[in-house]
Structure 1
Amino acid sequence: MVAALPYRFLADAVLLLHFGVVLFVIGGLVLVVVGNLAGWPWVNRLWFRLAHVAAIAVFVVQAWLGRLCPLTTLESWLRVQAGSSPYANSFIGHWVQSILFYEAPFWVFTLVYTIFGLLVVAAWWYFPPRRNKCSHKHGG
Protein backbone atom coordinates (compact mmCIF):
# COMPACT_ATOMS: atom_id res chain seq x y z
CA MET A 1 0.00 0.00 0.00
CA VAL A 2 2.75 2.46 0.94
CA ALA A 3 4.71 1.62 -2.24
CA ALA A 4 1.64 2.47 -4.31
CA LEU A 5 1.30 6.01 -2.89
CA PRO A 6 4.03 7.61 -5.01
CA TYR A 7 2.50 6.11 -8.16
CA ARG A 8 -0.97 7.32 -7.24
CA PHE A 9 0.38 10.79 -6.50
CA LEU A 10 2.31 10.84 -9.80
CA ALA A 11 -0.75 9.61 -11.72
CA ASP A 12 -2.84 12.43 -10.24
CA ALA A 13 -0.05 14.91 -11.04
CA VAL A 14 0.03 13.73 -14.67
CA LEU A 15 -3.77 14.03 -14.83
CA LEU A 16 -3.59 17.61 -13.54
CA LEU A 17 -0.81 18.39 -16.03
CA HIS A 18 -2.99 16.95 -18.79
CA PHE A 19 -5.87 19.15 -17.64
CA GLY A 20 -3.53 22.16 -17.70
CA VAL A 21 -2.46 21.41 -21.27
CA VAL A 22 -6.08 21.14 -22.40
CA LEU A 23 -6.90 24.43 -20.64
CA PHE A 24 -3.91 26.05 -22.36
CA VAL A 25 -4.99 24.82 -25.79
CA ILE A 26 -8.64 25.85 -25.44
CA GLY A 27 -8.03 28.92 -23.31
CA GLY A 28 -5.14 30.01 -25.50
CA LEU A 29 -7.40 30.38 -28.52
CA VAL A 30 -9.98 32.25 -26.44
CA LEU A 31 -7.24 34.55 -25.12
CA VAL A 32 -5.91 35.24 -28.62
CA VAL A 33 -9.32 36.25 -29.94
CA VAL A 34 -10.53 38.15 -26.86
CA GLY A 35 -7.10 39.66 -26.25
CA ASN A 36 -6.89 41.03 -29.77
CA LEU A 37 -10.38 42.48 -29.56
CA ALA A 38 -9.50 44.04 -26.18
CA GLY A 39 -6.10 45.31 -27.33
CA TRP A 40 -3.91 43.10 -25.13
CA PRO A 41 -0.55 42.98 -26.95
CA TRP A 42 0.86 40.06 -24.93
CA VAL A 43 -1.53 37.57 -26.58
CA ASN A 44 0.39 38.02 -29.84
CA ARG A 45 3.83 37.44 -28.41
CA LEU A 46 5.64 34.97 -30.59
CA TRP A 47 6.64 32.60 -27.75
CA PHE A 48 3.03 32.32 -26.57
CA ARG A 49 1.64 31.74 -30.05
CA LEU A 50 4.35 29.19 -30.97
CA ALA A 51 3.70 27.24 -27.77
CA HIS A 52 -0.02 27.33 -28.46
CA VAL A 53 0.17 26.18 -32.07
CA ALA A 54 2.68 23.47 -31.11
CA ALA A 55 0.34 22.15 -28.40
CA ILE A 56 -2.66 21.82 -30.71
CA ALA A 57 -0.42 20.38 -33.43
CA VAL A 58 0.53 17.55 -31.06
CA PHE A 59 -3.16 16.79 -30.41
CA VAL A 60 -3.99 16.82 -34.13
CA VAL A 61 -1.01 14.73 -35.24
CA GLN A 62 -1.52 12.07 -32.58
CA ALA A 63 -5.21 11.83 -33.51
CA TRP A 64 -4.43 11.50 -37.22
CA LEU A 65 -1.88 8.79 -36.38
CA GLY A 66 -4.51 6.97 -34.28
CA ARG A 67 -2.49 7.30 -31.09
CA LEU A 68 -3.60 8.01 -27.56
CA CYS A 69 -2.19 11.05 -25.83
CA PRO A 70 1.13 10.19 -24.15
CA LEU A 71 -0.12 11.81 -20.93
CA THR A 72 -3.13 9.47 -20.89
CA THR A 73 -0.84 6.49 -21.46
CA LEU A 74 1.56 7.61 -18.71
CA GLU A 75 -1.24 8.22 -16.24
CA SER A 76 -2.75 4.77 -16.92
CA TRP A 77 0.66 3.10 -16.51
CA LEU A 78 1.24 4.89 -13.19
CA ARG A 79 -2.17 3.76 -11.92
CA VAL A 80 -1.39 0.15 -12.86
CA GLN A 81 1.95 0.47 -11.03
CA ALA A 82 -0.01 1.64 -7.99
CA GLY A 83 -2.07 -1.56 -8.13
CA SER A 84 -5.22 0.11 -9.47
CA SER A 85 -7.06 -0.24 -12.73
CA PRO A 86 -5.74 2.07 -15.47
CA TYR A 87 -8.68 4.43 -15.01
CA ALA A 88 -9.11 4.32 -11.23
CA ASN A 89 -8.40 7.59 -9.49
CA SER A 90 -8.69 9.77 -6.43
CA PHE A 91 -11.53 12.15 -5.60
CA ILE A 92 -9.87 15.01 -7.51
CA GLY A 93 -8.90 12.63 -10.29
CA HIS A 94 -12.50 11.55 -10.68
CA TRP A 95 -13.69 15.10 -11.33
CA VAL A 96 -10.79 16.04 -13.58
CA GLN A 97 -11.22 12.84 -15.61
CA SER A 98 -14.93 13.51 -15.95
CA ILE A 99 -14.06 16.86 -17.55
CA LEU A 100 -11.25 15.54 -19.77
CA PHE A 101 -12.47 12.20 -21.05
CA TYR A 102 -15.54 11.42 -23.11
CA GLU A 103 -16.90 8.26 -24.68
CA ALA A 104 -17.03 8.64 -28.46
CA PRO A 105 -15.60 6.92 -31.51
CA PHE A 106 -11.97 7.85 -32.17
CA TRP A 107 -12.86 9.60 -35.45
CA VAL A 108 -14.97 12.12 -33.49
CA PHE A 109 -11.91 13.23 -31.53
CA THR A 110 -9.83 13.37 -34.71
CA LEU A 111 -12.47 15.59 -36.33
CA VAL A 112 -12.82 17.87 -33.29
CA TYR A 113 -9.05 18.26 -32.87
CA THR A 114 -8.63 18.95 -36.59
CA ILE A 115 -11.36 21.61 -36.64
CA PHE A 116 -9.95 23.22 -33.52
CA GLY A 117 -6.45 23.13 -35.05
CA LEU A 118 -7.81 24.88 -38.15
CA LEU A 119 -9.34 27.55 -35.90
CA VAL A 120 -5.94 28.09 -34.29
CA VAL A 121 -4.35 28.42 -37.74
CA ALA A 122 -7.08 30.89 -38.75
CA ALA A 123 -6.40 32.93 -35.60
CA TRP A 124 -2.67 32.84 -36.43
CA TRP A 125 -3.47 34.27 -39.87
CA TYR A 126 -6.10 36.76 -38.71
CA PHE A 127 -4.19 37.90 -35.61
CA PRO A 128 -0.54 37.30 -36.56
CA PRO A 129 1.99 36.92 -33.78
CA ARG A 130 4.60 39.60 -33.26
CA ARG A 131 8.13 39.42 -32.08
CA ASN A 132 8.83 41.06 -28.73
CA LYS A 133 10.21 44.52 -29.20
CA CYS A 134 12.91 45.22 -26.69
CA SER A 135 13.76 48.83 -26.09
CA HIS A 136 17.30 48.77 -24.81
CA LYS A 137 18.88 52.14 -24.34
CA HIS A 138 22.60 52.26 -24.52
CA GLY A 139 24.06 55.09 -22.53
CA GLY A 140 26.74 57.28 -23.91
Structure 2
Amino acid sequence: MGTLPDTEDRPMVYRLIGDTALVLHLAFLAYVALGGFLAWYRPAAFWPHLACALYGLGITVIGWTCPLTTVENWARVNAGQAGLPPGGFIDHYLTGVVYPAEHLVAIQVAVGAVIALSWLGLALRLSRHRSARKDSGRIG
Protein backbone atom coordinates (compact mmCIF):
# COMPACT_ATOMS: atom_id res chain seq x y z
CA MET A 1 0.00 0.00 0.00
CA GLY A 2 1.12 3.55 -0.73
CA THR A 3 3.69 2.46 -3.34
CA LEU A 4 3.91 3.39 -6.98
CA PRO A 5 2.29 1.01 -9.46
CA ASP A 6 4.37 -1.66 -11.19
CA THR A 7 7.03 -0.39 -13.58
CA GLU A 8 4.93 -0.96 -16.72
CA ASP A 9 2.04 1.08 -15.26
CA ARG A 10 4.16 4.06 -14.24
CA PRO A 11 4.09 5.79 -17.65
CA MET A 12 0.30 5.83 -17.46
CA VAL A 13 0.39 7.46 -14.03
CA TYR A 14 2.84 10.09 -15.30
CA ARG A 15 0.70 10.72 -18.40
CA LEU A 16 -2.28 11.24 -16.12
CA ILE A 17 -0.29 13.74 -14.04
CA GLY A 18 0.81 15.54 -17.23
CA ASP A 19 -2.75 15.63 -18.57
CA THR A 20 -4.02 16.93 -15.24
CA ALA A 21 -1.43 19.72 -15.34
CA LEU A 22 -2.60 20.55 -18.88
CA VAL A 23 -6.24 20.82 -17.74
CA LEU A 24 -5.22 22.96 -14.74
CA HIS A 25 -3.23 25.21 -17.09
CA LEU A 26 -6.30 25.73 -19.27
CA ALA A 27 -8.46 26.42 -16.21
CA PHE A 28 -5.93 28.91 -14.85
CA LEU A 29 -5.75 30.75 -18.18
CA ALA A 30 -9.54 30.87 -18.41
CA TYR A 31 -9.73 32.18 -14.84
CA VAL A 32 -7.09 34.85 -15.50
CA ALA A 33 -8.92 36.01 -18.63
CA LEU A 34 -12.50 35.81 -17.36
CA GLY A 35 -12.39 35.52 -13.57
CA GLY A 36 -12.87 39.24 -13.06
CA PHE A 37 -16.47 38.85 -14.18
CA LEU A 38 -17.06 36.47 -11.28
CA ALA A 39 -16.34 39.39 -8.96
CA TRP A 40 -19.39 41.20 -10.35
CA TYR A 41 -21.48 38.71 -8.40
CA ARG A 42 -19.03 37.92 -5.61
CA PRO A 43 -16.95 41.07 -5.00
CA ALA A 44 -14.61 39.21 -2.63
CA ALA A 45 -13.52 37.15 -5.66
CA PHE A 46 -11.68 40.22 -6.92
CA TRP A 47 -8.69 39.66 -4.63
CA PRO A 48 -7.82 36.11 -5.72
CA HIS A 49 -8.38 37.18 -9.32
CA LEU A 50 -6.02 40.13 -8.86
CA ALA A 51 -3.35 37.79 -7.47
CA CYS A 52 -3.75 35.35 -10.38
CA ALA A 53 -3.77 38.13 -12.98
CA LEU A 54 -0.60 39.64 -11.51
CA TYR A 55 1.05 36.23 -11.45
CA GLY A 56 0.02 35.66 -15.07
CA LEU A 57 1.46 39.07 -15.94
CA GLY A 58 4.71 38.12 -14.21
CA ILE A 59 4.91 34.91 -16.22
CA THR A 60 4.25 36.79 -19.46
CA VAL A 61 6.30 39.94 -18.95
CA ILE A 62 9.05 38.99 -16.49
CA GLY A 63 9.39 35.37 -17.54
CA TRP A 64 8.61 33.73 -14.21
CA THR A 65 8.39 29.97 -14.35
CA CYS A 66 4.92 28.50 -14.03
CA PRO A 67 4.86 25.60 -11.56
CA LEU A 68 2.29 23.82 -13.73
CA THR A 69 4.78 23.85 -16.61
CA THR A 70 7.40 22.31 -14.33
CA VAL A 71 4.99 19.58 -13.22
CA GLU A 72 3.82 18.86 -16.76
CA ASN A 73 7.41 18.66 -18.07
CA TRP A 74 8.43 16.32 -15.25
CA ALA A 75 5.42 14.08 -15.82
CA ARG A 76 5.75 13.97 -19.60
CA VAL A 77 9.46 13.11 -19.46
CA ASN A 78 8.80 10.36 -16.89
CA ALA A 79 6.03 9.02 -19.14
CA GLY A 80 8.54 8.76 -21.99
CA GLN A 81 7.02 11.71 -23.85
CA ALA A 82 8.60 14.96 -25.00
CA GLY A 83 8.39 17.78 -22.48
CA LEU A 84 7.13 21.23 -23.32
CA PRO A 85 9.34 23.46 -25.45
CA PRO A 86 11.29 26.28 -23.76
CA GLY A 87 8.41 28.68 -24.52
CA GLY A 88 6.18 26.61 -22.24
CA PHE A 89 2.51 25.80 -22.23
CA ILE A 90 1.18 28.74 -24.26
CA ASP A 91 3.78 28.34 -27.01
CA HIS A 92 3.12 24.61 -27.26
CA TYR A 93 -0.66 24.38 -27.00
CA LEU A 94 -2.03 27.78 -28.03
CA THR A 95 0.34 29.87 -30.16
CA GLY A 96 0.15 28.64 -33.74
CA VAL A 97 -2.66 26.24 -32.83
CA VAL A 98 -5.53 28.36 -31.47
CA TYR A 99 -4.27 31.64 -32.97
CA PRO A 100 -1.46 32.47 -35.41
CA ALA A 101 1.94 33.07 -33.80
CA GLU A 102 2.16 36.56 -35.29
CA HIS A 103 -0.93 37.57 -33.27
CA LEU A 104 0.51 36.67 -29.84
CA VAL A 105 0.92 40.30 -28.74
CA ALA A 106 -2.58 41.18 -29.97
CA ILE A 107 -3.99 38.23 -27.98
CA GLN A 108 -2.11 39.32 -24.86
CA VAL A 109 -3.41 42.89 -25.24
CA ALA A 110 -6.95 41.58 -25.80
CA VAL A 111 -6.77 39.44 -22.65
CA GLY A 112 -5.48 42.47 -20.71
CA ALA A 113 -8.37 44.54 -22.09
CA VAL A 114 -10.92 41.89 -21.04
CA ILE A 115 -9.44 41.84 -17.53
CA ALA A 116 -9.50 45.65 -17.33
CA LEU A 117 -13.09 45.68 -18.60
CA SER A 118 -14.14 43.16 -15.97
CA TRP A 119 -12.54 45.23 -13.22
CA LEU A 120 -14.07 48.46 -14.56
CA GLY A 121 -17.47 46.75 -14.60
CA LEU A 122 -16.94 45.67 -11.00
CA ALA A 123 -16.04 49.22 -9.99
CA LEU A 124 -19.19 50.55 -11.69
CA ARG A 125 -21.41 47.93 -10.05
CA LEU A 126 -19.96 48.69 -6.61
CA SER A 127 -20.34 52.43 -7.19
CA ARG A 128 -24.00 52.03 -8.19
CA HIS A 129 -24.61 49.78 -5.21
CA ARG A 130 -23.13 52.36 -2.82
CA SER A 131 -25.17 55.16 -4.44
CA ALA A 132 -28.36 53.14 -4.12
CA ARG A 133 -27.64 52.45 -0.45
CA LYS A 134 -27.02 56.17 0.21
CA ASP A 135 -30.19 57.16 -1.62
CA SER A 136 -32.31 54.63 0.23
CA GLY A 137 -31.04 55.98 3.54
CA ARG A 138 -32.21 59.56 2.85
CA ILE A 139 -35.47 60.79 4.31
CA GLY A 140 -37.84 62.84 2.16
Alignment partners' CA distance in 2, 1:80 and 1:118: 38
Output one character per residue of 1:18-49: Cα deviation in whole Å (capped at 9) or x when no partner: 222223233323444xxx5xxxxxx2331x11
Structure 1 residues 30 and 45: alpha-carbon distance in aligned structure 2, compared to 1, 3 A threshold:
closer
Identity value in percent: 24
Q: Which has the higher contact order (CA 8 A, sep 6+)?
A: 1
Output one character per residue of 1:60-81: Cα deviation in whole Å (capped at 9) or x when no partner: 1221102353312321221012
Aligned-residue CA RMSD in angstroms?
3.2
2:47 aligned residue: 50
Instruction: Flag structure 1 segments of 5+ consecutive residues without an equivalent.
Output: 37-42, 88-96, 131-140
Question: Is the CA contact 1:77–1:86 (under 8 Å) kept in the aligned structure 2?
Answer: yes
Name the TM-score, length of structure 2 as normaliser: 0.58
Instruction: Please report how far the alpha carbon of residue 127 of structure 1 lies from its aligned counterpart in structure 2 after TM superposition.
Output: 3.6
Name whichever structure is richer in helix by fraction.
Answer: 2
1:40 aligned residue: none
Larger Rg: 2
Structure 1 residues 13 and 105: alpha-carbon distance in aligned structure 2, compared to 1, 3 A threshold:
same
50-59 or 100-109: bigger deviation: 100-109
The count of corresponding residues between Structure 1 and Structure 2 is 109
Alignment partners' CA distance in 2, 1:5 and 1:28: 33
Name the TM-score, length of structure 1 as normaliser: 0.58
2:124 maps to 1:126 = yes
Instruction: Flag structure 2 segments of 5+ consecutive residues without an equivalent.
Output: 1-7, 85-89, 130-140
